[in-house]
Structure 1
């Protein structure tokens, strides 16, 4: 064979190998996209097998197994959507990597659900529907199944669209829609629904205002001080004490209901005690940590990184303790009704049901959570450790205030509202604050000897400057708010249709 023929044969072989490599790369890209749904289906199948072990041979065991699959699907969607609010700010501020955030959230969500998850749940979702109006066990089971399917589908759609929504509101809407379809509009407790609708406004506004207030305090007392390190030594331990007080009270009030019941005075005492102890312990630590630091904002941000990681873990624990009921509440209702043949307003949650919820939330977070984590932490507004700290602290403080006042709030709306509040406050503060302008003039040397400001040599037009200073992305703001507003009615209409189909088929 000639040299030329061998070269042509080699070139042909190289081209064929290149095609094979490209095909393998394309196949790998497609398979990565299918890995998440595939593993989700495996978990749902595992939930069905797990339920079958405990209910095999019992009356209506097939219905319970199907409900377990739906509960697992709902738990996956809660993990994919709702958990992002707890760790998103920490990831967006670079205090945590995505892998670290997923690991912390998965561990503490599961721990919160299994250790402190509620052992009794209102099966009609906090009094939305009167059990007496849906007393037939068959009708009640289909209503709960419809609520599970509709709420899970809605949260799944919101996750695909990149909108963090309230899973509690999704379940409420699902139960309401199924209740209306089963027993008419009179079955719904409309004053309770009115209070839930009010929380659409109360939750994000309260979270935003409190988050902005903390950021304003940090800017005034630390950032725009000439000696930032001295200011940090004075005020960072105070802020850490406030964080410890808020989270200890939050966990005592919301996360430890299953372990022990505490009255208001004891909860306040726990919060104050942890706050004072944290202040005393962290004051010398902050002083040592700040020694040798440069007098600049980056140094101050470093001091907030570890507290921010702790807050993400605590928020995840409390979220798992509270919101696992969104996944397994209707499932527990189906299990009890199918086994006992009676409809009750409250039932105990079997441990295997709670385990399905806890594992589903963690798996959904790992498989699908990064999309919403990036949305909350990076795409709404730019966060650093100080701003993210304000968001996390606002979430805990707002829930405590709202619970004390008896206001219905959503943890999702609070956290995302705090992100919006921090961003909008930065916009306002950047353009309006005399203190900031004076500080920047001193820093940049834009003041004449007589005290009059020098004109900036690179001044831009007012419209361009206004656009540059819009620190919150309006497209995400409108998308998220729209998703919040339509969550309950959308889940309700979907649930009503599904209930009518199930009722007609069975």
Structure 2
């Protein structure tokens, strides 16, 4: 039993690490593409702030541990299958440089494994629908918030010299990129915390009362460290897609996109709703680009990303169902 729990914790931290380098682009793509920071400095900043953000709250972790499915019907094999599916999809999309959602992959994997093991009745459909809805709504919020913000900033700066605006927002973008990295840590690292907490509940290692989950300190620190180290390793393929292939950005655009994204992600984390930081920052970048010139957005690249987003949950669910058959005899 102890060995099985160790394997689950290892897989959860592996997912967290992969999430870190897979989603590094979410926090630093814009600040790198605008030339405000070198890639190395941006990755270091993001890694540190990811670690700090991961220690702030457990609302999202509670949703993953208790909100998606009836924890009393979740067996260790289900958790393992969900993690393997999420890891596999993250690696596939990373290899091809596609900014997909780690959140979608984990939620889809967990839901698919639960259904394969105990049927649809084991899912908390109301909460799952809420999570799924916000996974769709959050990038739209990012799009329009970033659009409004860039239009307001351009109006405020309309009489300033372009060079002066550039210099000012190169400095301000350091703050917005930092806020985005911190927000990424608050939301994404908590997903792995939730998975480990779910495993600990399954093995009777921690108590579960009502809708609350007491996530142990060692779990918080381990997930924060895994996320931070993953971010430090960098996901250069996806950074290029996010930072240069969707739309060409200047510091003022990067500031607007990052600020809008940080607001949406931090708000969702506070409400305990796991969202896709990839979706939100991509939506914000598109909103910034579309506000100035619709044709400036490379909609073909954006379309490919949307296809990957749509596929992530069902593919992860199917992968989890397959993995469950493979691992069930061993757990």
TM-score of the pair, normalised by structure 2: 0.89
Decide whether aligned partners of structure 1 residues 339 and 198 sit closer, same or farther in structure 2, where only a CA change above 3 A counts.
closer
Equivalences for residues 178-257 of structure 1 within 5 A:
178-223=113-158, 225=159, 228=160
Larger radius of gyration: 1
Match of 1:323 among 181, 188, 197: 188
- Using the TM superposition, give the Cα deviation of residue 156 of structure 1 relative to its aligned residue in structure 2, in angstroms: 1.9
Q: Which residue of 2 aligns with 1:489?
A: 314
What do residues 271-312 of structure 1 show as CA deviations (whole Å, max 9, x unaligned)? Answer: xxxxxxxxxxxxxxxxxxxxxxxxx31221110112211222
CA–CA separation in structure 2 for the residues paired with 1:326 and 1:190 = 19
Q: Which residue of 1 aligns with 2:326?
A: 501
Decide whether aligned partners of structure 1 residues 72 and 424 sit closer, same or farther in structure 2, where only a CA change above 3 A counts.
same
Decide whether aligned partners of structure 1 residues 125 and 339 sit closer, same or farther in structure 2, where only a CA change above 3 A counts.
closer
CA–CA separation in structure 1 for the residues paired with 2:272 and 2:117 = 30
- Using the TM superposition, give the Cα deviation of residue 200 of structure 1 relative to its aligned residue in structure 2, in angstroms: 4.2
CA–CA separation in structure 2 for the residues paired with 1:416 and 1:126 = 29
Segments of 5+ residues of structure 2 without an aligned counterpart are: none
1:301 partnered with 2:166: yes
Paired residues in the alignment total 330
Q: Which residue of 2 aligns with 1:373?
A: 239
Match of 2:298 among 465, 473, 492: 473
Q: Which residue of 2 aligns with 1:97?
A: 38
Decide whether aligned partners of structure 1 residues 397 and 336 sit closer, same or farther in structure 2, where only a CA change above 3 A counts.
closer
Decide whether aligned partners of structure 1 residues 301 and 341 sit closer, same or farther in structure 2, where only a CA change above 3 A counts.
closer
**Is the Cα–Cα contact under 8 Å of residues 118 and 322 in structure 1 kept in the other structure?**
no
Segments of 5+ residues of structure 1 without an aligned counterpart are: 1-59, 229-295, 429-469
Q: Which residue of 2 aligns with 1:153?
A: 88
More off after superposition, 169-178 vs 360-369 = 360-369
- Using the TM superposition, give the Cα deviation of residue 318 of structure 1 relative to its aligned residue in structure 2, in angstroms: 2.9
Point out which structure has higher relative CO (alpha carbons under 8 A, 6+ apart): 2
- Using the TM superposition, give the Cα deviation of residue 118 of structure 1 relative to its aligned residue in structure 2, in angstroms: 2.4
More off after superposition, 99-108 vs 351-360 = 351-360
Q: Which residue of 2 aligns with 1:275?
A: none
**Is the Cα–Cα contact under 8 Å of residues 186 and 266 in structure 2 kept in the other structure?**
no
CA–CA separation in structure 2 for the residues paired with 1:373 and 1:158 = 13
Q: Which residue of 2 aligns with 1:355?
A: 221
> Over the residues paired in the alignment, what is the CA RMSD in angstroms?
2.7
Match of 1:67 among 3, 8, 11: 8
CA–CA separation in structure 1 for the residues paired with 2:315 and 2:309 = 10
TM-score of the pair, normalised by structure 1: 0.60
What do residues 78-120 of structure 1 show as CA deviations (whole Å, max 9, x unaligned)? Answer: 1112232122111111111101101101111112224x24289
Decide whether aligned partners of structure 1 residues 154 and 408 sit closer, same or farther in structure 2, where only a CA change above 3 A counts.
closer
Counterpart secondary structure, 2:157? helix
